[in-house]
Amino acid sequence: MSRPAAVAAALLLAVPAVQAETKPDVRDEILVIVNSHIITRRTLAQAVEQQHAALYRQFSGKELDDKLADAREKTLQGLVDAFLLEDKGAELGSPVSDEYVQASLDGIKKENNFATDADLERALKGSLGIGLPEFKKRQKQQATQQFVLQREVFSKVAVEDNELRAYYEDHKEEYRLASRFRIRELVLAKGATAEEQAEARKKLESLQAELKAGKAFEELARQNSTSPSKATGGDLGWMNKGFLRPSIEDAAVKLKPEQVSAPIETDKDIYLIQLIALEDAPVKSFAEVREKILEKLQEPKAQNAIEQYLSNLRMRANVRYLVPKDQILKG
């Protein structure tokens, strides 16, 4: 299953899976019949509540207000569409089996270090408020709907190779790897008192004089550095940019190999660094990133295709509102 299909399905399935109830509680009003399935007032209320909770976690301010304004309508439509996709999956002979769902659950347990189904169920009840049987049902329904979208929509969304290459050429910087450098450091503690700081600067001048006279930086680091790296002669190994202090990294990339920097001071220490080697940040090849670009360009095209596909399903389906839709949306 490609990532765009999963993303699109997730957008459609931002409401809880529902059962094809045939014997609802007599106190629970049926609102909509979708083919052989029903949506009750209680089902919709639970779905809206969960959707609101999800929106509060993701948005705030005016954006949240805008999302909440049409959340009930989108949730209702999502419930209808979920049943339509489920029925279409059955028509197409969906390959999603109980074994597939169990394999998915085993993967979830492994990723989250759950030793048993009981461990997973405790986590589900704590985070989603549902047990393992209900979670399995939702997993199967969602996988079926993703199967339909992949087969009926994404597989038919074409992106020409020249579009992919054009995007790559225009966005190469997005695929640039982090630059690497390798340095040695010699660290002197500045001390807390004026006398200690004066002594540190005197020692720094002495070390700089020794370096100028040809003494090896590595040897001086072993003998004088207060950093644990003194054990390796100050060699920090290869590092990606972004791991060290900006002042040290900025100084490092301006050096030539074997060149030593001017002193770099922090609140507590004084650094001398020597560049060992610097690698330019390479750009990943088109072949390496082709699939990622395909997903990026395919997704917006697919959004329109999904809506058109669902619209066609709705036209052919038997969707009956037992309560007028405007009344349902008012709550």
**Greatest alpha-carbon span in the chain:** 95
Coil, strand or helix at 22: coil
Q: What pLDDT score does 227 carry?
A: 92
Rounded CA separation 244/302 (Å): 42
Indicate the class that CATH gives domain 3-162+285-330.
mainly alpha
Per-residue pLDDT of the chain (331 residues; tens, 9 = 90+): 444 444 444 444 444 444 444 445 546 899 999 999 999 999 999 889 888 888 888 888 899 888 898 999 999 999 999 999 999 999 999 988 889 899 988 988 888 888 899 888 888 887 777 889 988 988 898 899 989 988 998 888 888 999 999 999 999 988 887 778 899 999 999 988 999 999 999 999 999 999 999 999 999 999 999 999 999 999 998 887 777 888 988 898 889 999 999 999 988 999 999 999 988 778 889 999 998 898 888 878 888 889 999 999 999 999 999 999 999 998 7
Rounded CA separation 155/326 (Å): 36
Sequence-separated contacts (24+) of 108-112 with Cβ below 8 Å:
none
Q: What pLDDT score does 238 carry?
A: 87
Rounded CA separation 199/57 (Å): 55
Q: How many Cα atoms occupy the beta-carbon half-sphere of 37 within 13 Å? A: 18
Q: How many Cα atoms occupy the beta-carbon half-sphere of 74 within 13 Å? A: 17
The CB density around residue 85, as the number of other CB atoms within 10 Å, is: 26
Tell me how many helices (H) and strands (E) the chain has.
13, 7
The CB density around residue 195, as the number of other CB atoms within 10 Å, is: 9
Residue ranges, CATH 3.10.50.40, the chain:
177-279
Residue ranges, CATH 1.10.4030.10, the chain:
3-162+285-330
Q: Per CATH, which fold does 177-279 belong to?
A: Chitinase A; domain 3 (3.10.50)
pTM above 0.85, yes or no: no
Q: What pLDDT score does 228 carry?
A: 92
List of residues 6+ apart from 166 with CB closer than 8 A? none
Q: What pLDDT score does 12 carry?
A: 45
Q: What pLDDT score does 7 carry?
A: 42
Rounded CA separation 90/103 (Å): 21
Rounded CA separation 221/24 (Å): 78
